[in-house]
Amino acid sequence: MSHLAAAQPLFWRDSRLPHVELRVVSDGREVCYAPHSHAQWSMGCITSGRSTFEYVGRHYEVEAGSLVFMNPQWVHACNPVNNQPWGYLMLYVDAHWLAKLRFHLGLLDEPTWQDMGCDLSESSDLFSGFQSLAEALLDECITTDQKRDRVEMFLSKVMVSISKAAERAEQPFPRATESLQELARYLDCHCMDELSIEWMAQRAGLSPSHLVRVFRKHFGMTPHAYQINRRIQLGQKAIRQGAPIADAAIAAGFFDQPHFQRVFKRLVAATPGQYVRPLKRRLNQV
């Protein structure tokens, strides 16, 4: 059976290539996401069927052959259309590594991250290239050095291809006031703290109800959802670094492991067990 024909969500990672991660879903009817964001830049391609794609307040319907691109921390969600089957690939790329690549390609003036403005593409060349890269990453006969070279070559091609549309992304939401930006920075650093909406509102100098409205307007989600999203990102990072699920839950501030598992599945559209399990063993079970 082809690696890309697996029935369950598959995640490929290699500790020797920590800057890239691949997700494979062949039938996404049961894969439903709540609005969320990733710490990495991410790229997806619809390999079969069609789905909805919500990205920073914009709504699309995408189908086989479509490519989607998401900046780090920009809110999005993809979900099935009327329970119709759909399959997709997702590539998650470390933003610092990608910024250096873009700098070396002459696409940035300095090797620091700059958001890109390209949301969608229907390039058949990039689409087939993505599928070939996915097959290569999943192929145990291809060496790590070869995979590293293929990742860099493909992403170089993607960056150059979308550079005209991606020179500079307009921020998806109106610029937040300094007090809201300060609160968001605080939540980034204290996402595991139990903070009431009243406490956050007082810190921002707003009423609780007004804080919820304006925070969602500027950041795409409520303060509580923003905080939970950051905590799940910490849990994912811990799992990628080899932590057991119980330890990852604690690292993300969840002392109730079933609660961590429920929230993780809602935002990642996979269980922590599916995310942590080595790809080789899961492929053997297909």
Q: Where do the domains of the chain lie, and which CATH numbers do they carry?
A: 3-162 (2.60.120.10), 178-219+221-276 (1.10.10.60)
Mean pLDDT, residues 115-123 taken together? 87
In tens, the pLDDT along 237-286 reads: 999 999 999 999 999 999 889 999 999 999 998 999 999 875 543 444 43
Inter-CA distances, 206 with 33, 116, 196, Å:
30, 32, 13
Separation of alpha carbons 93 and 42, rounded Å? 6
Q: What is the 3-state secondary structure (H, E, C) of 85-148?
A: CEEEEEEEECHHHHHHHHHHCCCCCCCCCCCCCCCEECCHHHHHHHHHHHHHHHCCCCCHHHHH
- Quick one: pLDDT at residue 120? 87
Mean pLDDT, residues 51-60 taken together? 86
Cross-strand pairs, 60: 53
Rg (CA), the chain: 19
In tens, the pLDDT along 120-170 reads: 888 999 999 999 999 999 999 999 999 999 999 999 999 999 886 655 555
% of the chain exceeding 90 in pLDDT: 67
% of the chain exceeding 70 in pLDDT: 88
- Residue 14 predicted with pLDDT over 70: yes
Separation of alpha carbons 44 and 153, rounded Å? 17
- Quick one: pLDDT at residue 276? 84
Cross-strand pairs, 45: 67, 89
- Residue 4 predicted with pLDDT over 50: no
- Quick one: pLDDT at residue 218? 85
As a whole number, the mean pLDDT across the chain is: 88
Residue 1: band (very low, low, confident or very high) from pLDDT cuts 50, 70, 90: very low
- Residue 119 predicted with pLDDT over 90: no
What is the reported pTM?
0.86
In tens, the pLDDT along 65-89 reads: 999 999 999 999 888 888 788 899 9
- Quick one: pLDDT at residue 165? 60
**Closest by Cα among 164, 229, 227 to 194:** 227
**Closest by Cα among 204, 163, 165 to 183:** 204
- Quick one: pLDDT at residue 176? 63
